[in-house]
Amino acid sequence: MCKCRSGQVLILTALTIAVLIISTEIYLYRLSETRVETRYDLLCDYVQNIRLGSRHVMEASLANITWGGSNQSLSNNLERWSSFLMGEYCFGSCILNSTPRNVSPYSSGLWIDWSSDGRGTSSACSLFEFRLMGREVDVNLTYTVNVTTTLLVSGSYSIVGGEEKRLEVWCRVLNEGNPALAGNITLLYLKGGQWRDPVGLPDYTCMDYGNGTYFFSFSEVIPGNVVTVSARCYDRRTIYVQAEAECREG
């Protein structure tokens, strides 16, 4: 009796093993569907996209203003950006409100100071409030975007003979306080009430250290105890900044 049923037991065991194999495969397949987590990743990338776009709006506006554009272009571009996002419905409806900083030294989100103390600043700052509402998401995010290009100028001279002086000038370019490369940098010196370019002078030297530091040296006959130099530069984001400094013997 037992021997007769051994074949049936064999088939039943095989069926059980088959069911186990298939259910394990289906379980693993379901486990690999990390739909919720990936959607969260996509949402993070989307928010990152909005933040990066806001930064680029600020950079483009500041570049435009420092090249002579209207100060209104910052608020106009921010309004356009908010309107552009209103038409978005990727994860839900988007609302982006921007408030340009109005606390000193900023005015309407801008701080442009190209003074003669060896430091020039071109800066824009704004607060953003982002709201994303959809069936599956509800995001409230507040972030600040600060775009600042700073130029630091310092230098000194040594007497070569008579009124002839050898000038050594250091310029440093900073983006948000960190060293940054300049797209272009020019140094001028004041002689006889006029700004002059030293590029044509015989011993003119310009060194780019590759870390946002630039060194200039040249010799020129300049009367007086103080030599005023002016550096003018735009960074890789095409934001313009300039700074003046007084060089003394040292």
Task: Fill in the per-residue mask, 211 to 250: x = in contact with another protein (CB under 8 A), - = not in contact.
Answer: -------------------------xxx------------
The answer to whether the beta carbons of residues 216 and 182 sit under 8 Å apart is: no
Q: What is the DSSP string of 175-207?
A: ETTEE--EEEEEEEEEETTEEE-GGGSTT-EEE
Nearer to another protein, 17 or 207 (CB): 17
Task: Fill in the per-residue mask, 28 to 67: x = in contact with another protein (CB under 8 A), - = not in contact.
Answer: xx--xxxx--xx-xx--xx-xxx-xx--xx-xxx-xx--x
Give the C-alpha separation, 13 to 8, whole Å: 9
Smallest separation, CB 158 to another protein (Å) = 41
Residues 6+ apart with CB under 8 A from 66: 112, 122, 234, 239, 240, 241
Which structure tokens are listed for 9? Answer: 């037991």
Out of 70, 72, 79, 84, name the contact with another protein by CB under 8 A. 84
Give the C-alpha separation, 179 to 168, whole Å: 20
Give the C-alpha separation, 139 to 133, whole Å: 7
- The C-alpha angle with vertex 121 and arms to 166 and 77, in degrees rounded to 5, equals 140
Nearer to another protein, 43 or 167 (CB): 43
14 binds another protein (CB under 8 A): yes
The answer to whether the beta carbons of residues 144 and 157 sit under 8 Å apart is: no
Smallest separation, CB 57 to another protein (Å) = 5
17 binds another protein (CB under 8 A): yes
144 binds another protein (CB under 8 A): no
Binding footprint of another protein on the chain (CB under 8 A): 4, 6-8, 10-11, 13-15, 17-19, 21-22, 24-26, 28-29, 32-35, 38-39, 41-42, 45-46, 48-50, 52-53, 56-57, 59-61, 63-64, 67, 69, 73, 77, 80-81, 84-85, 88, 90, 236-238
